[in-house]
Amino acid sequence: MPKNQPRDGNHHFVLTDDAVARDARAAELRAQGWTYQAIADELGYYDKSHAWRQLQNARKRILKPALEQLIATEMQQLDELYVAALEILEREHVAISQGKIMKDDDGTPILDDGPRLAAIREMRMIRESFRKLHGLDAEKKVNVSGGVRYEIVGIDQADLS
């Protein structure tokens, strides 16, 4: 980027129309098989690594709106699933055996907790999907312990001492 590129109040670079056009041209040249160094030389990037970084940033700028739309769509679908599972959870379900409603000694229908428990499991899974979608779960740490043992096959260990 040119040294006189404008910055905002926080001293961050401001993306100008010229910079966007240059990045687009760089993408066109790269698609034509140009090397990063040739792109840097042609378009005035500092060096080939700067050309590569600018192309990566341009990809992110282009993909970000599409990714945000995808996340919004996924969120809407998860919301609808959650509401459907909540409706099942809030309903009373009677126990059925051999096609007939099961009743207690007083003639009152016996409630079946199975559908409610299934709705709870689904709601939990939907919430897990929400957390994954937004990256809210803590990273999982894996501890690896133990050692490595090397064995040379075909040599008697007594011969090594």
Tens digits of residue pLDDT in 146-158: 777 777 677 777 7
| Residue whose C-alpha is closest to residue 40's, from 31, 57, 32, 49 | 49
Residue 17: how many other CB atoms lie within 10 Å: 7
> Which distant-in-sequence residues (6+ apart) come within 8 Å of 15 by Cβ?
61
Per-position pLDDT tens, the chain of length 161: 445 566 677 766 667 788 888 888 898 999 999 999 999 999 998 999 999 998 988 888 888 888 888 889 999 999 999 999 999 999 999 999 999 999 999 999 999 999 999 999 999 999 999 998 888 877 777 777 777 777 767 777 777 76
d(CA 32, CA 55): 14
d(CA 22, CA 25): 5
The H or E element containing residue 56 is: helix 48-90
